[in-house]
Amino acid sequence: MNIEPTDSPRPALEHAPKNSRSKARQPFLLALALACGVLLGANPFRPSDQNPDLTARGYLKFKEILSYVDRDYVDSVNAEELSDYAISRMLERLDPHSVFIPAKQQQQASSFLQSDYDGIGVEFNLFRDTVTVVAPLSDGPAERAGLQPGDRILAVNGQRVSGVHTTTEQMFGKLRGPRGSAVLLQVLRRGQPRPLNVQVTRNRIPNSSVDVAYMVDNQTGYIKVSRFASGTYDEFKSALGDLRRQGLARLVLDLRGNPGGYLDRATKMADEFIGGTKKIVYTDGKGDQYDTQTFSRVVGEFEEGALVVLVDEGSASAAEVLAGALQDHDRALLVGRRTFGKGLVQQPIALNDGSELRLTIARYYTPSGRSIQKSYRGGLAQYEQDLQNRQRHGEFFHADSIHFADSLRYRTAHGRTVYGGGGIMPDLFVPRDTTAHSAYYTRLQSLNLVREYALTYYQEHKAELEGLRFEHFNQSFRITDVQLQQLAAKAARDGVPQNAADLRRSAALLRNQLKALIARSAYGKSAYYQVLNQEDLEMQQALRAVQEPSTTAMLGLLGK
């Protein structure tokens, strides 16, 4: 970890006379030594050798103030909540990613990185304060119990969840639980005169982080990785092997919106693409305790063959490590927009009460020496506004709005210029498509009206959709002008006034999204992405790049 130098060296202290200053300090030093001994004996934390006195004084000061507040403050207080708040604010002064997670939130925070959970296996959404099933997991407990897309869940175990402002997190809490336990759902189904009671027995549910893998054509594969969870590498290996058996010769790896996760899953994935013994990432912490270097070491499944990686401002942390390593070794072409810029390493530390401290202990660097972490000198509030500032400055729309200092220039293995300074800048910039977006479109999306219309359409045409193979649906199905007008009329009834000009402007985007959402209910998640990607600008640019005859020719696009 880089340590900022002080403005000037500390002056040497003059020796105090033995008969005055040293005697005056003896009681204080004795008390401080005793305090340090108590701390060391009762707490697993060990102060560093650099400032044990300051650490002990800070601990005692906090303890004293909390005792006064708890005992003498005019109103009753929750001392534990105050402590949690104080700890969180203290960590904010360090960096944006050192965080304290209270015990009651720790399980939910950790579940993001798990590859399975105990629950009923259902994808749902909230339409006008009603929990609606989007799709039950194939062969999962919910599907076996008979839940169908479009079912509206009115109550869980007798407790009403419709019309009472239930949140997504609250529904997760109600539907998940120990495997083998039962949950009773009251469900309203289209065409049924009264609600149905459906009992579902919870089981272990896979929580896949490889959202989809399919062949775009007879040589080109596509894999989307949404996060780096405990099972991500195994899922990726399985998906890659399946595509190889289908004739994979070139690959588009989609890391857009991937917030990261376990570093070792990302480096193992990088090893599948990078041959020989090459550096993938290194970390630099305080001293050398947390300094690490990770190298490729196995013979990977796809060390040759054209490779394109899709990234955007939502790609962060471990996703940036993977993208940066592939770029630095000229193994892949990066397409999209500059990544988030999260290059701090957190160590999870379990605390005695079940809470968790995630403390930054090092920084990530790409093989060429680029620091991934963007600046946070302006404080947490400014840091959290970074993506909005990028949009305001035009970075999402114009590559020339991004300026890098010469000091941030680095070279890849083949001598191409890349830049540091926070985030990974792609080789081919693709701006956000704003031509089809409008205020009307944004309003439809924010109220979930597009998803609701698609789900209703699926319910009304379920029989004919089940009679079509996906390939036939994908080639022949079209959203008509009449259906767009039906969507607009429904939105008007829900309080969104019709806007003919904005509807025309967003028509192509709405058609594609409605078709993809209908495909999701009828044919599954893979169908959803296949439809969506057909109109995606970044995906189309990636396909043009990856379909170059070889990686060498692909890098030739960059002038190498």
Q: State mean pLDDT over 367-389.
A: 89
- 143: CATH: 2.30.42.10
287 and 314 fall within a common domain: yes
pLDDT at 166 over 90: no
296 vs 163, which has greater pLDDT?
Answer: 296
Inside any domain, residue 106: no
- Confidence label for 128 from pLDDT (cuts 50, 70 and 90): confident
- Do 467 and 418 belong to one domain? no
pLDDT at 56: 82
pLDDT attached to residue 555:
64
pLDDT at residue 129 is higher than 50: yes
CB 229 within 8 A of CB 114: yes
145 and 240 fall within a common domain: no
Average pLDDT, the chain: 86
Residue of 174, 268, 342, 515 marked active site: 342
Is residue 419 very low, low, confident or very high in pLDDT (cuts 50, 70, 90)?
confident
Residues 448 and 502 in one domain: yes
Determine which one of 317, 371, 438, 506 is catalytic. 317
Q: Is the pLDDT of residue 558 over 80?
A: no
pTM above 0.95, yes or no: no
Q: What whole-number percentage of the chain has pLDDT above 70?
A: 88
In a domain, 481, yes or no: yes
Q: To the nearest 10°, report the CA torsion of 220, 210, 237, 260.
A: 110
Catalytic, 342? Answer yes
pLDDT average, residue stretch 179-203: 92
How high is the pLDDT of residue 33? 44
Q: Are residues 414 and 277 in the same domain?
A: yes
Q: What's the helix, strand, coil split of the chain in %, to 5?
A: 40, 20, 40
Total domain count, the chain = 3
* Cα 297-359-324 angle, rounded to 5 deg: 40
Range of the domain at 152: 118-205
Based on the domain organization, do 462 and 481 belong to the same domain? Answer: yes
- The pLDDT, as a whole number, for residue 114 is 83
Higher pLDDT, 136 or 328: 328
**Chain segment 538-555, per-residue pLDDT in tens:** 999 999 999 876 655 666
pLDDT at position 262: 92
Q: Are residues 174 and 238 in the same domain?
A: no
371 among known catalytic residues: no
Position 514 confidence tier, pLDDT thresholds 50, 70, 90 = very high
Residue 21 phi/psi, 5° resolution? -65, -40
Same domain, yes or no, for 226 and 201?
Answer: no
336 belongs to a structural domain? yes
Q: What percent of the chain has pLDDT over 90?
A: 59
Note the pLDDT of residue 551: 59
| DSSP H helices in 93-228 | 103-111, 141-145, 168-175
Choice among 10-24, 94-108, 278-292, 338-352 with the minimum mean pLDDT: 10-24
Residue 295: C-alpha distances to residues 103, 229, 303, 325, 512 (Å): 36, 21, 14, 10, 42
Domain at 422, CATH number? 3.90.226.10
Q: Which one from 271, 328, 330, 427 is the annotated catalytic residue?
A: 328
Write down the pLDDT at residue 560: 47
Q: Are residues 242 and 153 in the same domain?
A: no
Instruction: Evaluate whether residue 72 is within a structural domain.
Output: no
197 and 215 co-located in one domain? no
Residues 306, 174 share a domain: no
Q: Mark which of 397, 429, 461 sits at the end of a domain.
A: 429
pLDDT digits (tens, 9 = 90+) for 228-250: 999 999 999 999 999 999 999 99
Provide mean pLDDT across the span 143-149. Answer: 90
Residues 423, 333 share a domain: yes
Known catalytic membership, residue 317: yes
